[in-house]
Amino acid sequence: MKRYTVAELLSSTNFLNEVTLNGWVRTFRANRFIALNDGSTIKNIQCVVDFENTDENILKRITTGAAIKVKGTLVESLGKGQSIEIQVSEIKILGESNPEEYPIQPKKHSLEFLRENAHLRIRTNTFSAVMRVRSALAFAVHKYFTEKGFYYFNAPIITGSDAEGAGEMFRVSTLDYNNFPKNEDGKVDTSKDFFGKTTNLTVSGQLEAETYAMALGKVYTFGPTFRAENSNTTRHLSEFWMIEPEVAFNNLDDNMDLSEDFIKSVINYTLKNCKDDLAFLENRLLQEEKSKPANERSDMNLLEKLNFVVNNNFKRVSYTEAIDILRNCKPNKKKKFQYLINEWGADLQSEHERFLVEKHFKCPVILFDYPANIKAFYMRLNEDGKTVRAMDVLFPGIGEIVGGSQREERLDVLKQKIAELHIDEKELWWYLDTRKFGTAVHSGFGLGFERLVQFTTGMGNIRDVIPYPRYPQNAEF
Ligand code: 4AD
Ligand code: MG
């Protein structure tokens, strides 16, 4: 007999049909009503047990968390809260769940408690909704780029180069911790390591993606990236997923257009395809907001926020304009910022980004043309000689969601920059080759996938939008 999912049955009107389904018990009331969930939707299906004709030994094993198989008839429900239910004719316990020990009880658990039980938290409504939306967003990413003629490119995960030049990398090594091979000068002899050199987990697939864009035209990566920065914030992970499109012949304006269209498109996909989950998450957020002081509550609910982003233009502002705004704004003058903005050249912190987005412009903002010395080596130098064609997309509640740029395509300018930063040119010989052979204007950006999931689901902490978060002092599971 065909095995149905709860999602299929809830949208079915084939009443009186005999059906079979499997799932996990969420609650069991009055020895009669099972709320069954199988992950296919946030909704449970009500299964009504004929307890008088059911073995008592089975009834007492129908507890929260147990896996069961149900056979029964699909009928219209007379009860409140659902339109259909299953009249159970046969029930089988597939896997018991000890109610005394099972941590996920039908009550509200704190997100911190659930993080410690990340292997079980997916059994809650909140986490199943978040992870279904995450999955839908991932599909929307591939759909968007495929439909626009991009090729999916897999950058290497183990690499010898530091794309961002920030030195925040995790080393990959098979050397014996307790017995490092040494050079004559006493230093560790990395030539004896597995790859014959120092290697790390990638911080970004960009440099390799550039080489592919220079042949395939339009490519994008979507893979894990790793950063060993000691940031314990609600927006940083040590292991996160990044989407990095790279397009030959695109300049910075094209790049901004692409980032805006892309973000709107994938969020719009979830608005159309994740209605139940988003409705649940919106309600969850409303409850959470109630416990906040009035001045910290958001003036838009989740769906309004998502629709706002999809339907409005992102504001494009140069770094120089942004600095003028920040220098003269109230929190700066009243010394409310932790980092005060005194002069042009200052690196923007998340408090400044969020001020611009949430208080000043009240919409997503794309900042561009940053000072060269606060950005990576590969960005194209402007005619002014001091700014580069960089862009950051800033979002409410999140801050930076995208970082990108037009790339420096001129070999001599790039080489000079590499020399200034004391980067070893020999390490980048293959990257420089793209500037020697058929170089051209090109641009790309990186979108932090978890920050996108965070924005779309309204979750406050990035650790709650990836199945098993990695952050300093934590690599459990
Ligand atoms: O701004 P970033 O460092 O840019 C790059 O890596 C470029 N190579 C991208 C490119 O041009 N192809 O990172 C890009 C984005 C950030 O805007 C942010 O959304 C996310 O990646 N990100 C993080 N997300 C979670 N945890 C972290 N530690 C992150 N660091 C960056
Ligand atoms: Mg950045």
Q: Which atom of ligand 1 is nearest to the CA of 245?
A: 12
450 Cβ inside 6 Å of ligand 1: yes
Which residue has the least CA distance to atom 6 on ligand 1? 204
Domain endpoint, select from 48, 70, 102 = 102
Same domain, yes or no: 55 and 142: no
- What pLDDT sits at residue 6? 97
Same domain, yes or no: 156 and 33: no
- What pLDDT sits at residue 13? 85
Band (16; pLDDT cuts 50, 70, 90)? confident
Same domain, yes or no: 334 and 254: yes
pLDDT higher than 90, residue 81: no
227 Cβ inside 6 Å of ligand 1: yes
Same domain, yes or no: 132 and 25: no
Same domain, yes or no: 92 and 135: no
State how many domains the chain has: 2
237 Cβ inside 6 Å of ligand 1: yes
Same domain, yes or no: 78 and 221: no
- What pLDDT sits at residue 34? 98
Mean pLDDT, residues 458-462: 97
Residue 189 lies in a domain: no
Same domain, yes or no: 78 and 162: no
Average pLDDT of the chain is: 95
Rounded to the nearest whole angstrom, what is the distance from the C-alpha of residue 446 to the centroid of ligand 1? 6
Contact residues for 388 (Cβ-Cβ < 8 A; gap 6+): 369, 370, 371, 372, 375, 379, 380, 381, 382, 405
* First and final C-alpha spacing in the chain: 37
For 83, the domain range is 3-102
Residue 357 lies in a domain: yes
Mean pLDDT, residues 184-209: 95
Band (80; pLDDT cuts 50, 70, 90)? confident
Residue 193 lies in a domain: no
- Ligand 1 pocket, mutate which of 204, 232, 357 (most atoms under 8 A from CB): 204
Mean pLDDT, residues 270-285: 98
- What pLDDT sits at residue 163? 77
Residue 113 lies in a domain: no
Residue 227 lies in a domain: yes
Q: Nearest bound ligand to CA 451?
A: 1
Same domain, yes or no: 44 and 140: no
Residue 269 lies in a domain: yes
Same domain, yes or no: 265 and 360: yes
406 Cβ inside 6 Å of ligand 1: no
- What pLDDT sits at residue 107? 87
Q: Nearest bound ligand to CA 232?
A: 1
Residue 114 lies in a domain: no
Band (14; pLDDT cuts 50, 70, 90)? confident
The model's pTM = 0.97
CATH number at residue 91: 2.40.50.140
- Ligand 1 pocket, mutate which of 162, 229, 234, 242 (most atoms under 8 A from CB): 242
- What pLDDT sits at residue 72? 96
CATH number at residue 373: 3.30.930.10
Mean pLDDT, residues 278-296: 91
456 Cβ inside 6 Å of ligand 1: no
Q: Nearest bound ligand to CA 243?
A: 1
Rounded to the nearest whole angstrom, what is the distance from the C-alpha of residue 319 to the centroid of ligand 1? 18
The residue that leads in pLDDT, 78 or 470, is: 470
Same domain, yes or no: 93 and 129: no
Task: Give φ, ψ of 202 to 5 degrees.
Answer: -65, 145
- What pLDDT sits at residue 294? 83
- What pLDDT sits at residue 165? 79
pLDDT higher than 90, residue 442: yes
201 Cβ inside 6 Å of ligand 1: no
445 Cβ inside 6 Å of ligand 1: yes
Same domain, yes or no: 366 and 328: yes
Which residue has the least CA distance to atom 25 on ligand 1? 236
Same domain, yes or no: 82 and 128: no
Residue 83 lies in a domain: yes
